[in-house]
Amino acid sequence: MPEGDTIYRAARTLERALAGKTVTRFESVLPALMRVHVDDPLTGRVVESVCARGKHNLMTFSRGLVLRTHMRMNGSWHIYRPGESCQRPRRQMRIVVGTADYVAVGFDIPVAEFLTGRALVRHEELRQLGPDLLGETFDQADAASRLRGRAQEQIADVLVNQRVMAGIGNVYKSEVLFSCRVNPFAVVATLR
């Protein structure tokens, strides 16, 4: 499962490849995305930015449209040069965003939707995220307060709760608890 650091690196790579570039190609096997593209084409828009928010990837296009993707267990973004063969089978492609210089292909992405800027601000799942561990404005005090607010829950469950801190998954949870010699079944209230 991609964790916050994987999504962060993917967003940075997509940002370097696509930001400031005009979309020359858009494809998706997801009907909701294609419906938006048919009604108001992505081609001709500029990719303004790509960023990660917890485990969500947000690709912002000109004229106020944002593509939100979540990789869940198996999704990934790959970057290719136009005409370059993909390393994964075509049947796994879900989204293609192409520019004159690069083609970004989202494979096995189960969650994808277009949002307007207003809808992005109101998006319930994004609004409920805790402080993003890799975000530029990570608030350590807020994260600690949220941890303490789950005093009767097991620390392993609290660490992967994206409402407490966004970005941690099972790998980091397990490694951090092991390194700190903390029993994953310990209740938060028993920890210092």
CA 142 – CA 148 distance, rounded (Å): 10
pLDDT band at 1 (very low <50, low <70, confident <90, very high): low
pLDDT band at 134 (very low <50, low <70, confident <90, very high): confident
Q: If you search the block for the tokens 């570039």, which residue do you land on? A: 21
pTM for the predicted model, two decimal places? 0.88
Query: Does residue 27 have an active-site annotation?
Result: no
Query: Does residue 89 have an active-site annotation?
Result: no
Q: If you search the block for the tokens 């964790």, which residue do you land on? A: 3
User: 4-16, pLDDT tens digit by residue?
Assistant: 788 999 999 999 9
- Of 2, 48, 131, 173, which is the active-site residue? 2
User: 42-72, pLDDT tens digit by residue?
Assistant: 999 999 999 999 889 999 999 999 999 998 8
CA 9 – CA 127 distance, rounded (Å): 22
Residue 108 three-state SS: coil
- Of 15, 31, 55, 125, which is the active-site residue? 55
- Of 3, 48, 131, 173, which is the active-site residue? 3
Query: Does residue 82 have an active-site annotation?
Result: no
Residue 133: the pLDDT is 85
CA 128 – CA 191 distance, rounded (Å): 25
